[in-house]
Amino acid sequence: QKTHFFQNMSHELRTPLNSVIGFSSAMEEETFGPLGDDHYREYVGAVQDSGMHLLNLVNDILDISKIEAGEMEFEDKDVNVHDIFQASAKIVANRADRGEITMDMEISENSPQLRGDSLRLKKILLNLLTNAIKFTPPKCQIRVSASVDASNAMEWQIIDTGVGIPAKDLRRIMLPFEQV
């Protein structure tokens, strides 16, 4: 019952959000000509960021409802870590450029394969990169790396110079829809 409601609501919300995101993207890229005043570019970027944020929230709500109902399906296959990192970096590149932030990627093309769900892994990485960009001051750098440690476990690092998370709030950020 609850899952059906969330699925219907997510469809009803996604349709207009996709239009907002698509139109703002066309404006940001000045597909049909220049916007003019720089304030318009700033506003279009804000509209696009807000639309993407809302769409991500809708998707997260739907995912959580599927997980709670035991209906979430995960892929279990070999994943090319280098490809996931490159694709994710490409998605957030414009946002990083707008914030005058450089991303230093330290992922070898010969990185070992990882077993998992590539879509979910990419979503995790995109969330981490988006937050790093959001909280990193202009003209700073984000370092992104993937490596295998001595116990053969894969370690992903996203290191930024943002404000960080106070130790007392670290537990809260692992809860759904929590912010600090």
pLDDT in tens for each of the 180 residues of the chain? 666 777 777 778 888 888 888 898 899 889 999 988 888 888 998 898 888 888 888 888 788 778 877 888 888 999 999 999 999 999 999 889 989 999 999 887 778 888 999 988 998 999 899 989 999 999 999 999 998 888 988 899 999 998 888 889 888 887 876 777
HEC states along the chain?
A: CHHHHHHHHHHHHHHHHHHHHHHHHHHHCCCCCCCCCHHHHHHHHHHHHHHHHHHHHHHHHHHHHHHHCCCCCCCCEEEEHHHHHHHHHHHHHHHHHHCCCEEEEECCCCCCEEEECHHHHHHHHHHHHHHHHHHCCCCCEEEEEEEECCCCCEEEEEECCCCCCCHHHCCHHHCCCCCC
pLDDT of residue 141: 94
pLDDT of residue 1: 66
Encoded tokens for 179: 């912010």
pTM value surpassing 0.75: no
